[in-house]
Structure 1
């Protein structure tokens, strides 16, 4: 499975927002400059996160984005789904209906063992992402890279 680079950008950007006061909105240009990303493309990701209720947007000259919920309430799956959409990675097109002896009345999405295996794998992947919160990632980063919060906060406030 391959996800768009927007997922990585959104995850890092949301993590960076955890180190700022909750009332501080950061413009897309500043968020994008942090990693030398194209602001217009990052803005599309931020708008998707806003539609999903992960970040909130404040218009105007002092506007920008901030987290809309606490990091404990935002999972990695929330961010992935906001960027990539809710669809499963594997889409059964019922190929078995094309094969010899196929029964047109059968829903092969339910009967196909390959489809079932792919669905179980997708559900395991989603459970793992849903179990990881932004707060958990933040704690892991702070433990492994103690300078990250201060560096990030300084760069985004400047």
Structure 2
């Protein structure tokens, strides 16, 4: 549909990791950045966006960090994508049909929306509906099935060591 920013991937992975943090505990931005092999400043920008959108909570203070703001089943993939990339449509109709040699002299000729615009916006609505229908809980279930036991154990150990 459209190219999503790299921040969406980082945000999805970070939110998924935060599902494994026990109640009352947090992970720091530094820990999440280390786990994912990205710079802390890069990830913090995206964590702030997730917090502003109400997907995660930022706990201040020396023992602070990040945790989910809601249950994983209440956080859609669309919530995360829109927190990072915004809610603006990917397609912007510039009404180029009204330019060039075939342009109508009378603006009243264009009484309906551009049919290309209509189809493109419908496709985007379908894309957004598909993301809205999937939650962070679905990613947790995928991870349970698809992540090998050694990697699961390594991440669980990392979380246990790094949680505050």
Specify every segment of 5 or more residues in structure 2 that has no aligned partner in the other structure, as ranges: none
Give the structure-2-normalised TM-score.
0.88
Give the number of aligned pairs.
Answer: 157
Question: How far is the alpha carbon of 1:20 from its aligned partner?
Answer: 1.3
**Aligned with 2:134 (options 120, 132, 151):** 132
- Distance in 2, Cα, partners of 1:106 & 1:56: 52
Contact 2:21 2:27 survives alignment (8 Å) = no
**2:160 — aligned with what?**
157
**Structure 1: which 5+ residue stretches go unaligned?**
none
For 1:75, the equivalent position in structure 2 comes to: 76
The 5 A counterparts of 1:1-150 are 1-99=2-100, 100-101=103-104, 103-104=106-107, 111-145=113-147, 147=149, 148-150=151-153
Structure 1 window deviating more from structure 2 (97-106 vs 50-59): it is 97-106
| Distance (Å, rounded) in 1 between the aligned partners of 2:76 and 2:87 | 14
Structure possessing the higher relative contact order (Cα contacts under 8 Å, 6 or more residues apart): 2
Contact 1:22 1:67 in 2 (8 A): no
Q: Tell me the alpha carbon deviations over residues 38-96 of structure 1, each in whole angstroms, 9 at most, x when there is no partner.
A: 10010000000000000000111111110000000001000000000001111112222
Distance 2:47 2:148 in 1: 26
Change (3 A) 1:113 1:12: same
TM-score by length of 1: 0.91
What CA distance in whole angstroms lies between the structure 2 residues aligned with 1:18 and 1:146?
A: 18
Q: CA deviation at 1:103?
A: 4.5
In structure 1, how many angstroms separate the alpha carbons of the residues matched to 2:49 and 2:15? 12
**Structure number with bigger Rg:** 2
